Structure 1
Amino acid sequence: MAEHRAIPEGYMTVGEIAKKMGVTVRTLQYYDKEGLLSPSAESEGGRRLYTDKDLVTLHQIVSLKSLGFSLEDIRKYMVSLETPSDVASVLTKQADDIREKIEQLSIALSEIEQLKEEVLQMQTVNFKKYADIIVNLQMKNDSYYLIKHFDDDTLDHIRSQFDKASGMDFMDRFNRLTDEIIELQKKGVPPESEKCQQAVRKYWDLIMEFADGDLSMIPKLMEIGSIDTASVPRESRQKTVNDYLSPAFEIYFSKLEKNPFGEVEQ
């Protein structure tokens, strides 16, 4: 009886190969079930038997898994790993996938750190504002920090006024105009100049688009726009724009002989 159950020369039991590779018997059973590595033979007593070639295959599986490959990827690649160039090609693709994941994680980490700063500056816990900040961070909206200063009515207006696509379009136009205004400021272009007045007109048009023509929102926007945030580098751009455009707006409205800011205050 024992003679019939002897392990043939050149074969290993599932326990032996598991011990050699530092994996569990259950893992080998799972790989067999998934079609990754099946026993090369079976003893007369029904024991699963593996060869040195199976050991090499198992080593490939363990190595690829440690590099982050999924079992599905391993199943696909194992067939073609016959030459060094085959292996190098597979590793190149995996390296590209890892770089992409690192980039995504870096972006997520940056967003978490930025959200944490905003949370600490807010006086109360407000998950709706947190969600708005996250959405704006994902939209690459550099003005996300202003959200903590908006009241609920203003935020409700923004949510109803813009979806993700229109919001991104608006911020793209706003940021391009901001860049244009900062360039004028750097060059020392006077507020009464035609170039500056054109920029003021575009800026006012964007404000009215943002408010959807509702002048009652102007005081809130003025209050938020006047917040001195220059101590934080990423927020100093807006203060530069505010300081530069303030006298330019006075000239702009004097020419119109109509000051909507004054009308609202009345």
Structure 2
Amino acid sequence: MLLKVGDLARRCGLTVRTLHHYDAIGLLAPSARSEAGYRLYDRDDIARLHQIQALRRFGLSLADIGAVLARPDSSLASIVQQQIGMLDTQIEQAMDLRSRLSRLQDQLRRGDEPELAEWLTTLERMTMYDKYFSQDELARLPLYQGGKTAETEWRGLVDEVRALMARGIAPQSDEAQEVSKRWMAMVERDTDRDPRLLAKLNAMHLNEPSVQAQTGITPELMAFVLQANAESKLRIYAKYLSPEEFAFMREHYGKHTYEWPELIGALREHMEQGSAPDTPAVQQLALRWLSFFRSYAGDNPETHAKIRLAHEKEPELMAGSLIDATLLGFVKDAMAHLKPR
């Protein structure tokens, strides 16, 4: 049985454009073509598409998926096993909540005064995640899937930061910068390096006082971590910029900290959907990227060249940014199509 591209797109919930993009980048090439030149997909193609979609749900980029599928040990059976493991985690979480509710129900039936604190906290937090994330996003969010282990690790790191703040340690200190680097590494791990998930996590923490109370991640604590992280980057930039250039950067660096993940995520979405760099939507995002960059780099091309040199020689500048080489290439292509203003 052979399926035309339109039929396959409808059956699997993708767009024809997405399947065309998968073909163009060599991720999923149709096994045959009709006499009229239409793409035709067979059973093996559909099995490969299952692997691609499963890996996408795990949060992998298309480039990473291609690398995984190219490995000799990659198989549909192993990927299905990973899907089963992800579902097992979701079932375990649901069963845990069910057990809590059952205990509450038994207490209420006996006329006992229930201890609601832990149960309400669990229920509130799960409801809060549902408010900001779709079920598909929650399935791809390692922080949510990590359960109590992830919570314990984050609680320990939050306590470290709070201790630094209580001691009056400045964000510019080596100690604060070291903690901020570990913080950013955990952010990358627990969002699976997906800026779209990070943007939603940031929104949840900034907008929900109950989440701040549960996690201890207050706006003040987050500002301390972000400032310490910025200081670690500024320390590197200082080696490449003149005193005047560096003074301007220090004054304005971090101005769009909370806006970057949303912008990076929007560009990644277009890139993965196969949008061309010169489409109007991508061009608007490229202009926004350029505006964010110039907000701390200024408008001098010589300064821009120094910053590019710093990025070439200092890989640490990209640590925690959620920007990879593929996305950066897409942005550069988009900027190359910008019309002079």
TM-score by length of 2: 0.33
Q: Specify the structure having the higher radius of gyration (Cα).
A: 1
TM-score by length of 1: 0.40
